[in-house]
Amino acid sequence: MTNLTASILAARVLVPLLLALPAAALEVPEAAPTSTHRGAGLSFGVRGALGVPLGNIGEGSLRHVFTSAIAPQVDLGWFFSPNLYAGGYFQYGPAKTYEDNCLHEERNCRGTLMRVGFDVNYHFSPEATFSPWLGVGAGYEVATDHTVRGPSGKNVFEGFELAHAQAGLDLQVTRAIRVGPYALWTAGVYSKRTSTVAGVETNREFPEKSFHFWLQPGLRFQLRL
């Protein structure tokens, strides 16, 4: 076979292939864009906050019973979309009691705060490195004051948390992990007090229902599964 014949045969094979390349390129589907955030799915969160009491309890000031609280909280819920979350929470931690109530040597100067309920959050920019969010919810609250005389003496205040509002800013550490500061504001009413002194328990309902509030600035860690 001569060089001329080989060249003609090569041209007959290569030219159609070269002409077909542009058409083949047009038919290749574009790669789907990768997402930096998760959509629907389970979410777990842990929080740490400082609680500042405001408002009244019965006929007196809440700050004359509790002066502060350190209240860890766990969250469990579901993201229905990258923006919308709904779930439950449980908060429990120590509360500092009013100093004037702790002067007697037989009194235990300690307290606790417990909150349980649900909330709904909206995340405005879930794909961004920094994502602001807002939330609302409601629940039930139990606060225990152990400054009653005796080793087992205590007052337990309980009632509905009628509403709470919160706002925060998440930092996207990884595709599944968010960390950031937040602030929570609660509004509730203690409807009754249960007192235990020397093993004897008495119940009292407050005739005057007064509002109390907790302001809780803190830090939240959230894992999206």
For residues 124 and 167, give the distance between their C-alpha atoms in angstroms, rounded to a whole number. Answer: 11
CATH code of the domain in which 211 resides: 2.40.160.20
Number of domains observed in the structure of the chain: 1
**Mean predicted confidence (pLDDT) in 160-175:** 96
Domain assignment of residue 22, yes or no? no
What are the phi and psi torsion angles at 38 (to 5°)? -90, 155
Q: Convert the pLDDT of each residue in 97-116 to its tens digit.
A: 876 656 555 555 788 999 99
Quote the pLDDT of residue 208: 75
Quote the pLDDT of residue 58: 77
**Domain assignment of residue 110, given as a range:** 45-224
Domain assignment of residue 86, yes or no? yes
Domain assignment of residue 102, yes or no? yes
3-state helix, strand, coil in the chain (%, to 5): 15, 60, 25
Collapsing DSSP to helix, strand or coil, 148 comes out as: coil
Share of the chain above pLDDT 70, in %: 75
Which is higher by pLDDT, 40 or 182? 182
Domain assignment of residue 31, yes or no? no
pTM of the model: 0.78
Structure tokens at 94: 């120590």
Domain assignment of residue 30, yes or no? no
Domain assignment of residue 155, yes or no? yes
For 193, residues 6+ apart whose C-beta sits below 8 A from its C-beta are 58, 155, 156, 157, 203, 204, 206
Domain assignment of residue 129, yes or no? yes
Domain assignment of residue 118, yes or no? yes
